[in-house]
Amino acid sequence: MLQVSADILALSADPALLAKSGRIVYANAAACRLFGADCAGQTIRSVLGEEIASVQSGSFLGELNRDGQRFLLRVLAMDGLQVFFLRESEICERLVSDSFLVALRGAMMDLKTAIALLKGRLAPEGENACPELAPLSRSFFQINRILTNVSVIHGVENGTVLFMPRAMDLSRFLRELADSVALLFPAPELSVSLPESCPCTADPALLESLVLNLISNAMRHAEGCTRISLRLTPLGEQLLLSVDDDGCGIPAAEMHTVFDRFRHQHALKDLGLGAGLGLTTAREIAHLHGGTLLLESREGRGTAVRISLDRVSAPLSLHAETPVYEQCYDSILTGLADCLPAECFGGALTE
């Protein structure tokens, strides 16, 4: 079996490794160029790092930074062996332009104003006079979610994303965010495990987007999910943020596709339906904070997403005071627009 697997990996143009009992037993030509000709025989920990080596699941999806290059790492377990496939990571193909995003934002603002004016004219009859307004508002927030995620991905790709780290208590921030989500969506249960306090330097708006994307993915795609767990674990100079669910899990054969659909230019109408936008956005926000995203999933048992973050992701400016971040109801509706029922949007867009 070992020889057969090695023969197959030798045909791959991308780096590929074969490991047994925590040690690399074969590296194809591309992997030898990347890790060195002597990587076979070394431990997984010494070649791929502590984070990858410490994952308990045999099959998972992660990332690896090597000499300034970013790789998507797919790991499969079979017959006592682990196979590591690496592919150079691309944020996305050029789907949008700056002018497109500006025009779309302008159109969205016009639509928001029109809906708000229409609701105002219906007062005091309110939503009962026009029940179609709630689904219309939800459609606005669903489009706004796509626009927000595409803007973040596009901004990271072009170096124009607005990144404003500030001193904050991440535990308090996550606790308040979880409380707001639970009010809107009481099931599945959202449980939290957070230290009493966790001071750090981070961008709260981007972290809110990261967490809401992961919660939304679990609510929408984890069929049979009854519980979502949000945990924060301090690890010295790093923080580990985990979002787990007990849903249906992702089949091992489909794990490598979770970032691919958006890159492969599916139609715009599909972008809100599991097109990889949420996970891609979360991954890029993690990178802005000096971290990575790692995804483990077991079919029938659930999915776990691990986000590592630097406790101090960027120095604070000495010349400009960072504005206080206040949680916004609209931003939470945007983040969860794909999984909330229409009635949650009845009171939105009234200002």
The torsion angle over the Cα atoms of residues 80, 65, 308 and 21, rounded to 10 degrees, is 20
Same fold, 2-88 and 90-351: no
Q: pLDDT class for 126, splitting at 50, 70, 90?
A: low
Give yes or no for a contact between 288 and 211, defined as CB atoms under 8 angstroms apart: no
> Mean of the pLDDT values across residues 165-193?
91
In the prediction, which pLDDT does 184 show?
86
Domain definitions of the chain by residue range: 2-88, 90-351
Q: How far apart are CA 253 and CA 61, in angstroms?
A: 11
4 class by beta-carbon count within 10 Å (0-12 exposed, 13-18 middle, 19+ buried): exposed
Beta pairing class for 302-310 and 293-298: antiparallel
pLDDT digits (tens, 9 = 90+) for 241-269: 999 999 888 887 777 777 764 544 444 44
Measured between alpha carbons, how far is residue 3 from residues 20, 29, 182 in Å? 13, 16, 52
Measured between alpha carbons, how far is residue 72 from residues 164, 280, 297 in Å? 27, 12, 16
Residue with tokens 């057969």: 4
The residue type found at 199 is P
Homologous superfamily (CATH) for 90-351: Histidine kinase-like ATPase, C-terminal domain (3.30.565.10)
Q: Count other Cβ atoms within 10 Å, centred on residue 139.
A: 15
Q: Count other Cβ atoms within 10 Å, centred on residue 150.
A: 22
Q: Please work out, in degrees rounded to the nearest 5, the angle formed at the alpha carbon of residue 130 by the alpha carbons of 125 and 133.
A: 115
Q: How far apart are CA 115 and CA 330, in angstroms?
A: 14
Mean predicted lDDT score pLDDT of the chain: 82
Range of 39-53, 62-76, 127-141 with top mean pLDDT? 39-53
Q: How far apart are CA 223 and CA 221, in angstroms?
A: 6
Give yes or no for a contact between 313 and 192, defined as CB atoms under 8 angstroms apart: no
Architecture of domain 2-88: 2-Layer Sandwich (3.30)
Q: pLDDT class for 272, splitting at 50, 70, 90?
A: very low
Q: Annotate 21-38 with three-state secondary structure.
A: CCEEEEECHHHHHHHCCC
In the prediction, which pLDDT does 270 show?
43
In the prediction, which pLDDT does 219 show?
86
Task: Name the residue with higher pLDDT: 203 or 321.
Answer: 203
Q: pLDDT class for 91, splitting at 50, 70, 90?
A: low
Q: pLDDT class for 320, splitting at 50, 70, 90?
A: very low
Residues 6+ apart with CB under 8 A from 186: none
In the prediction, which pLDDT does 325 show?
62
